[in-house]
């Protein structure tokens, strides 16, 4: 009978009968080395895994020792059920290794467990709360700013319907923009009759104001001129870095500027300009709001123009109607009466002096009233101004003269009051005569005409850069030309004065001034 093998030894028979027996012992040794490795990285987890894996190690060990045990135990462990038991134990071990580690606890001391510092978790929570509060405050401020912008846009839209006079509407827009958005300077420039010149029409500011009537050259002077020439908006949050910025003496403190075009279709009508003393004062929201308001201003300008044209057309139609009525009724009746009185005077016998004297007085009155009726018809319906305003009639004269004689012309006016027909007709005739003289004698390359009303006085200025002349010689009539004399006579008939300034080789300037009384406007 063969000698029994010591417990734990692996017999050669076991190696021979089981091919897997040679690798079970190294596997068991490898499992025994897991605990110190796991404990080095995570003591709590290593201890937990060790506890959970004792049975696994026992199962694997039993499988390894199976050849030296009794045949019955060996058959159980090496059979199908034993292999399933070993496999299940291995899976349990892997699951224990894959489980997330538990939070490490501080080792106990003599006084008990070490308490955790609550500020360690309170500080991150406080920081997150502060960030959220700052974000909410910022977002709320943006929403309020946007709501104020929309309110202002709505208010301006309402005033567009109520106000038809640009001289009243444009200052309102400047003041409302500055008040609602805390802008420091808001200016509106419009292109007048000269397409190359921008004129300041309204301004509102805290540290400087542009005087109404100040001008800039389109496409040449400053950010405003560039925007008017290009038709594109421009945002300069640091004007010191903007080469197109033009320093104005009255706005020397400007550090940021926003300018947007006032356009109607493809036509640029002017520029809305906003300035600030602070760098980075504007953003894309300000740019969008300014452009929206500029579009509203363009609509207002067009509405005002159409309103003026409609009103002027209505006034012209009424004047023509009255002229026809006077001509067809009163004038014709007075003409017939005059003829009848003349016939009666011729038929009276010479020995009735009293009757002749009465008829002569009636005839004189009839003729006087007929002359007044004819003058009224002439004042109501002037052929040169028929269906046109005085400004439109002068512009038409300039366009025709400039095209025929090849010179550059410019015309600007602020005529927003209704003039008496006699004044309109007289001013038109003076301009017509002045242009005739320029076309015939001046050899000019540029002609500028300005028509303005300030403080109850109408002022007309006509300038050219032609050859000039000696005014004293011409006014004396020595050269046989009486155009300037006729212009002076018309000015006197209108109650005004006409000044002529000219030097040979230096051009000519003519200035007409007419005080406007209540009956003339």
The whole-model pTM stands at 0.47
Nearest Cα to 419, choosing from 348, 513, 519, 340?
Answer: 519
Task: List pLDDT tens digits, range 172-213.
Answer: 888 888 887 788 899 999 987 778 888 888 888 887 677 777
Instruction: Give the whole-number percent of the chain exceeding pLDDT 90.
Output: 18
Q: Which residue has the higher pLDDT, 173 or 159?
A: 173
The phi and psi torsions of 30 (rounded to 5 degrees) equal: -65, -40
408-413 and 446-454 strand pairing: parallel
Q: What is the pLDDT of residue 481?
A: 56
d(CA 474, CA 181): 60
Of the listed ranges 60-74, 287-301, 416-430, the least confidently predicted one is: 60-74
Do residues 184 and 175 lie in contact, with contact meaning Cβ atoms separated by under 8 Å? no
Task: List pLDDT tens digits, range 207-245.
Answer: 767 777 788 889 888 999 999 999 999 999 999 999 999
**Residue by residue, what is the 3-state secondary structure of 136-168?**
HHHHHHHHHHHHHHHHHHHHHHHHHHHCCCHHH
Q: What is the pLDDT of residue 462?
A: 96
Separation in Å, CA 418 to CA 308, 423, 491: 11, 10, 19
Q: What is the pLDDT of residue 426?
A: 87
The phi and psi torsions of 70 (rounded to 5 degrees) equal: -65, 155
Separation in Å, CA 267 to CA 92, 413, 468: 83, 20, 37
185-191 and 497-502 strand pairing: unpaired
Do residues 145 and 285 lie in contact, with contact meaning Cβ atoms separated by under 8 Å? yes
Q: CB burial class (10 A; 0-12, 13-18, 19+) of residue 116?
A: exposed
Q: Which residue has the higher pLDDT, 375 or 349?
A: 349
| CA dihedral over 76, 82, 83, 86, signed as positive or negative | negative
d(CA 159, CA 148): 16
Task: List pLDDT tens digits, range 104-135.
Answer: 555 555 555 555 555 555 566 677 777 888 88
Q: Which residue has the higher pLDDT, 497 or 327?
A: 497
Confidence category of residue 1, pLDDT binned at 50, 70, 90? very low
Task: List pLDDT tens digits, range 321-346.
Answer: 888 888 788 888 888 888 888 888 88
d(CA 511, CA 450): 10
d(CA 389, CA 414): 13
Highest mean pLDDT among 86-90, 206-210, 452-456, 482-486: 452-456
Confidence category of residue 460, pLDDT binned at 50, 70, 90? very high
Confidence category of residue 465, pLDDT binned at 50, 70, 90? very high
Q: Which residue has the higher pLDDT, 81 or 425?
A: 425
Question: How big is the chain by its Cα radius of gyration, in Å?
Answer: 52
Q: What is the pLDDT of residue 328?
A: 80
- Mean residue pLDDT across the chain: 76
- Average pLDDT of the residues in 347-374: 85
Nearest Cα to 238, choosing from 257, 260, 259?
Answer: 257
Half-sphere exposure (Cβ direction) of 207: Cα atoms closer than 13 Å: 15
Do residues 210 and 233 lie in contact, with contact meaning Cβ atoms separated by under 8 Å? no
**pLDDT higher than 90, residue 142:** no
**What is the DSSP-derived secondary structure letter of residue 271?**
E
């Amino acid at each position: 009978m063969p000698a029994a093998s010591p417990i734990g030894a692996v017999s050669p028979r076991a190696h021979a009968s089981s091919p897997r027996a040679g690798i079970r012992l190294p596997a068991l040794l490898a499992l025994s080395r897991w605990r110190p490795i796991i404990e080095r990285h995570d003591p709590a987890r290593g201890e937990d895994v060790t506890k959970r894996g004792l049975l696994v190690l026992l199962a694997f060990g039993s499988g390894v020792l199976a050849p030296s045990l009794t045949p019955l135990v060996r058959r159980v462990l090496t059979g199908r059920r034993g292999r399933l038991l070993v496999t299940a134990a291995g899976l349990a071990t892997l699951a224990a290794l894959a489980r997330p580690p538990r939070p490490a606890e501080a080792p106990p001391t003599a006084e008990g467990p070490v308490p955790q510092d609550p500020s360690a978790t309170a500080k991150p929570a406080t920081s997150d709360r502060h960030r959220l509060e700052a974000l909410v405050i910022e977002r709320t401020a943006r929403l309020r700013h946007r709501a104020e912008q929309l309110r202002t846009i709505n208010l301006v839209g309402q005033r567009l319907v109520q106000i038809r006079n640009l001289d009243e509407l444009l200052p309102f827009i400047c003041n409302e923009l500055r008040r609602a958005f805390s802008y420091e300077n808001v200016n509106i420039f419009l292109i007048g009759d000269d397409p190359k010149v921008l004129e300041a029409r309204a301004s509102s500011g805290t540290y400087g104001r542009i005087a109404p009537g100040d001008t800039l050259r389109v496409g040449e002077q400053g950010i405003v001129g560039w925007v008017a020439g290009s038709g594109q908006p421009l945002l300069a949050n640091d004007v010191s870095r903007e080469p197109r910025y033009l320093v104005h003496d009255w706005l020397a403190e400007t550090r940021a500027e926003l300018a947007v075009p006032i356009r109607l279709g493809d036509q640029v009508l002017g520029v809305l300009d906003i300035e600030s003393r602070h760098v980075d004062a504007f953003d894309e929201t300000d740019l969008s709001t300014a452009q929206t308001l500029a579009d509203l201003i363009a609509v207002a300008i067009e509405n005002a123009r159409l309103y003026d044209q409609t009103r002027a057309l209505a006034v012209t139609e009424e004047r023509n109607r009255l002229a026809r009525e006077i001509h067809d009724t009163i004038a014709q009746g007075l003409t017939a009466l005059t003829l009848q009185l003349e016939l009666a005077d011729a038929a009276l016998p010479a020995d009735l002096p009293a009757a002749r004297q009465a008829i002569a007085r009636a005839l004189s009155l009839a003729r006087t009233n007929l002359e007044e009726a004819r003058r009224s018809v002439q004042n109501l319906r002037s052929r040169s101004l028929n269906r046109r305003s005085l400004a439109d009639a002068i512009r038409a004269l300039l366009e025709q003269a400039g095209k025929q004689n090849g010179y550059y012309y410019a015309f600007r006016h602020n005529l927003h009051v209704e003039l008496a027909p006699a004044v309109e007709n007289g001013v038109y005739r003076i301009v017509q005569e002045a242009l005739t003289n320029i076309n015939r004698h001046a050899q000019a390359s540029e002609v500028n005409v300005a028509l303005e009303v300030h403080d109850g006085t109408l002022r007309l200025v006509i300038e050219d850069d032609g050859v000039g002349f000696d005014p004293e010689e011409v006014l004396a009539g020595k050269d046989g030309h009486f155009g300037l004399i006729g212009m002076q006579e018309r000015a006197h008939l209108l109650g005004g004065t006409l000044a002529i300034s000219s030097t040979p080789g230096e051009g000519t300037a003519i200035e007409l001034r007419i005080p406007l009384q209540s009956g003339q406007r």
